[in-house]
């Protein structure tokens, strides 16, 4: 098999040829056809997350040490499986759910793999989908997406399920309420699409890039805000008529957190999803007096992936712009993403690669 691997953090990925793994027990070998490129791959590539105040969280401290293969938006064809893998057939086209937990602890037993403290995520803690082949530990992590475009289906594994899970953390809305989507990259645009699919119409998209705001409008955002305005918080409050019930932040930097928290109505909820980094300094009494809350949202669970795929199958979920490129251009894709030149999602095409 051919993989594009991180050999050294922050340096171009290298094409590596290895023996194709043989599935054992419950394992399934998937031949990758499409593999989405996610913004969080940039952090994994760099090898750390910025915790603010000069502090960093290093991937190597969680056992993620080069050489390794990134890629957590896998779509492909079942090629082989172990003797104990039930309910799976060769030739089936499937999304691979990447947010895999230990499978044994109470949260995993409840189907909340993404709350497991010993996660073994695809493309993070185990080899990922920037590869012609991917070994999946159990057939339960394969999701049928028949009828959905393959590149779009791949992106549902992270950007789709992450947006869906974040939107599900928005509390019940009244008729006047608005929701702000802060950051209209691949995941933010999917959130606009999920909100629309769920019938939530009062959506204001926020970004610093006019092209991304235009894409958000096309997907159903009623209003947009260029957050470079010095009085962006007041502008956001005004656009929502004082009824901003939720702000979902797909950037996650101090400025976007202050924007989201600052613009909420009383009782509002700020859902933090982006991992850009930094730290938050905010007056504590405001949480009490304004009855606001801050909730984190990390990827999503298998059931949520199935639900977002169901929306896509029913054509209720519009895809964000997709740019499919040959797998050989994996490094360009990462560079373009880093420079903010990607509108929507880049998806790598592995079909042309022979291994």
Which spans of this chain sit near Zn ion (rule: CB under 5 A)?
Answer: 38, 40, 101-102, 105, 108, 116, 158
Closest approach of Zn ion to the CB of residue 278, in Å? 19
Nearer to Zn ion, 101 or 268 (CB): 101
Closest approach of Zn ion to the CB of residue 4, in Å? 16
One-character DSSP codes across 17-81:
E-PPP---TT-EEEEEEEEEE-THHHHHHHTEEEEETTEEEEGGGGT--SSEE----EEEEEEEE
Nearer to Zn ion, 105 or 353 (CB): 105
Nearer to Zn ion, 222 or 306 (CB): 306
> 67: cis peptide before it, omega within 30°?
yes
Separation of first and last alpha carbons in the chain: 5
Closest approach of Zn ion to the CB of residue 253, in Å? 17
Closest approach of Zn ion to the CB of residue 107, in Å? 6
How many whole angstroms separate alpha carbon 169 and alpha carbon 270? 9
Nearer to Zn ion, 74 or 268 (CB): 74
Closest approach of Zn ion to the CB of residue 334, in Å? 13
How many whole angstroms separate alpha carbon 276 and alpha carbon 182? 12
Beta bridge partners of 134: 30
Q: Which two tokens stand for residue 155?
A: 């992106």
For the chain, what percentages of helix, strand and coil (3-state, to nearest 5) are there? 30, 25, 45
Nearer to Zn ion, 102 or 281 (CB): 102
């Amino acid at each position: 098999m051919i993989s594009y691997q991180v050999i050294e953090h922050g340096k171009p990925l290298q094409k590596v040829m290895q023996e194709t793994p043989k599935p054992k027990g419950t394992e399934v070998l998937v031949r990758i056809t499409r593999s989405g490129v996610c913004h969080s791959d940039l952090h994994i590539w760099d090898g750390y997350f910025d915790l603010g105040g000069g502090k960093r969280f290093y991937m190597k401290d969680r056992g993620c040490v080069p050489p390794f293969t990134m890629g957590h938006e896998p779509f492909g064809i079942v090629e082989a499986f172990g003797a104990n893998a039930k309910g799976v057939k060769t030739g089936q086209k499937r999304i691979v759910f990447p947010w895999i937990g230990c499978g044994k602890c109470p949260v995993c037993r409840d189907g909340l793999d993404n709350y497991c403290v010993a996660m073994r995520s695809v493309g993070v803690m185990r080899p990922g989908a920037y590869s012609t082949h991917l070994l999946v530990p159990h057939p339960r992590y394969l999701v049928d997406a028949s009828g959905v475009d393959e590149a779009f289906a791949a992106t549902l594994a992270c950007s789709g399920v992450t947006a869906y899970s974040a939107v599900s953390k928005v509390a019940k809305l009244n008729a006047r309420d608005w929701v702000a989507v802060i950051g209209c990259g691949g995941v933010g645009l999917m959130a606009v699409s999920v909100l629309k699919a769920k019938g939530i119409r009062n959506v204001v998209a926020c970004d610093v890039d006019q092209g991304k705001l235009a894409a958000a409008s096309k997907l159903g955002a009623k209003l947009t805000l260029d957050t470079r305005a010095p009085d962006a918080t007041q502008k956001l409050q005004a656009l929502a008529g004082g009824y901003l019930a939720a702000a979902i932040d797909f950037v996650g930097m101090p400025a976007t957190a202050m924007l989201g928290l600052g613009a909420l109505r009383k009782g509002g909820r700020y859902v933090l999803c982006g991992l850009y980094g930094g730290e938050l300094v905010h007056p504590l009494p405001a949480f009490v007096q304004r009855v606001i809350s801050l909730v984190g949202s990390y990827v999503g669970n298998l059931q949520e992936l199935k639900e977002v795929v169901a929306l896509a199958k029913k054509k209720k979920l519009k895809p964000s712009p997709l740019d499919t490129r040959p797998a050989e251009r994996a490094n360009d894709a990462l560079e373009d993403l880093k420079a903010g030149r990607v509108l929507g999602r880049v998806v790598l095409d592995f079909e042309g690669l022979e291994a």
